[in-house]
């Protein structure tokens, strides 16, 4: 009897835990939308070329962008950072371009996996880091949108999956070994979920996820990793973002700019 009592209490607790993690996820979705709408409203103007990031938060930004284009009759040209972004632009009837035709962007808006106090980012959870970094690098302003779970004091506090690093397939083992030897931790090949074998990026490369053991000087580490033969790009975005919008649990939006040194 007593055992059955404990079992039903256990079930109740598990149920309420499931509920609370579901409501956390619902809040995170709402927070993504808040951040995305704020960024599009504050940074997009008529006659601009806009870089469109990748991931789940950017979906809300493209929704809002398309809404504003329709309502305000804006003339906006969009440059995608991935196959996903290209699809989003087309599905919303927005004008699609590329860096050949528009190598200078007015603004790029993108999500992030983690944003630290300096606005150093980890990106590439969705595997699109190389094109994302190229497009952000071509933009006069690079703005980040994220929910409260991405807000961090120091990289690694919130995002536990490590720094994504895009590599040429034949080099993934030597690159992984070099990273572990020089910087510690472990750089593991990212495996696909609904396909046998590794994740293959939009650029036909592989992704290593480097789980670092401690904080690093990210600018130096980023440069050093990029020097390893076979590395295409890292998901460390250092000194690139000029503003981050965080949608918060209480329905507010917090803005973070880089510290003034
Ligand atoms: C993809 C990215 C995404 O911007 C990042 O993973 C954030 O995604 P989401 O908005 O789904 O949290 O870098 O490569």
> What's the 102 CA to ligand 1 centre distance in angstroms?
23
Residues 99 and 186 occupy one common structural domain: no
Residues 130 and 217 occupy one common structural domain: no
Kindly state whether residue 180 falls inside one of the protein's structural domains.
Answer: yes
Kindly state whether residue 254 falls inside one of the protein's structural domains.
Answer: no
d(CA 139, CA 33): 23
Looking at residue 4, its pLDDT comes to: 61
Looking at residue 12, its pLDDT comes to: 61
Residues of the chain with pLDDT under 70: 1-19, 22
Give the up-direction half-sphere exposure of residue 13: CA atoms within 13 A in the CB hemisphere.
Answer: 6
Residue 220: active-site member:
no
Count of the separate structural domains present in the chain: 2
Q: How many angstroms separate the Cα of 131 from the Cα of each of 16, 17, 35, 81, 119?
A: 41, 38, 22, 5, 19
Residues 89 and 202 occupy one common structural domain: no
Among 84, 126, 152, 245, name the best residue to mutate to test ligand 1's pocket (greatest count of ligand atoms within 8 A of Cβ): 126
Residues with CB under 6 A from ligand 1: 53-57, 110-113, 123-129, 132
Report strand pairing: 121-122 vs 236-237.
antiparallel
Residues 21 and 118 occupy one common structural domain: yes
Looking at residue 1, its pLDDT comes to: 45
Q: What is the pLDDT of residues 186-203, one digit of tens each?
A: 999 999 999 999 999 999
Q: Residue 146: which CATH number?
A: 3.40.50.1360
Residues 123 and 144 occupy one common structural domain: yes
Q: Residue 225: which CATH number?
A: 3.30.70.260
Pick the residue whose CA is nearest to atom 8 on ligand 1: 55
Pick the catalytic residue from 72, 104, 132, 213.
132
Please name which of 246, 244, 245 lies closest in space to residue 258, comparing C-alpha atoms.
244
Q: What is the pLDDT of residues 101-157, one digit of tens each?
A: 999 999 999 999 999 999 999 999 999 999 999 999 999 999 999 999 999 999 999
Residues counted in the chain: 261
The model's pTM: 0.92
**Residue-number span of the structural domain to which 220 is assigned:** 163-234
């Amino acid at each position: 009897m007593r055992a059955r009592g404990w079992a039903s209490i256990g079930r109740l607790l598990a149920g309420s835990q499931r509920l609370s993690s579901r409501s956390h996820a619902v809040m995170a979705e709402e927070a993504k939308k808040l951040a995305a709408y704020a960024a599009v409203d504050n940074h997009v103007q008529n006659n601009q070329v806009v870089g469109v990031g990748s991931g789940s938060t950017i979906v809300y930004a493209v929704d809002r962008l398309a809404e504003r284009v329709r309502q305000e009759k804006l003339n906006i040209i969009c440059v995608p950072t991935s196959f996903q972004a290209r699809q989003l632009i087309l599905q919303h009837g927005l004008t699609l371009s590329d860096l050949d035709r528009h190598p200078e962007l007015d603004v790029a808006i993108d999500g992030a996996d983690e944003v630290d106090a300096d606005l150093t980012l980890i990106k590439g959870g969705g595997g699109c880091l190389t094109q994302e970094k190229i497009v952000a690098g071509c933009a006069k302003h690079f703005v980040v949108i994220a929910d409260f779970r991405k807000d961090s004091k120091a990289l690694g506090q919130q995002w536990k999956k490590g720094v994504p690093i895009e590599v040429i397939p034949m080099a993934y083992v030597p690159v992984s070994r070099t990273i572990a030897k020089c910087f510690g931790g472990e750089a593991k090949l990212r495996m696909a979920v609904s396909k046998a074998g590794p994740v293959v990026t939009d650029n036909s490369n592989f992704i290593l996820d480097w789980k670092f053991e401690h904080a690093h000087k990210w600018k130096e580490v980023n440069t050093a990793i990029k020097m390893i033969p076979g590395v295409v790009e890292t998901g460390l975005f250092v000194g690139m973002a000029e503003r981050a919008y965080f949608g918060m649990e209480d329905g507010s939006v917090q803005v973070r700019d880089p510290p003034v040194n």
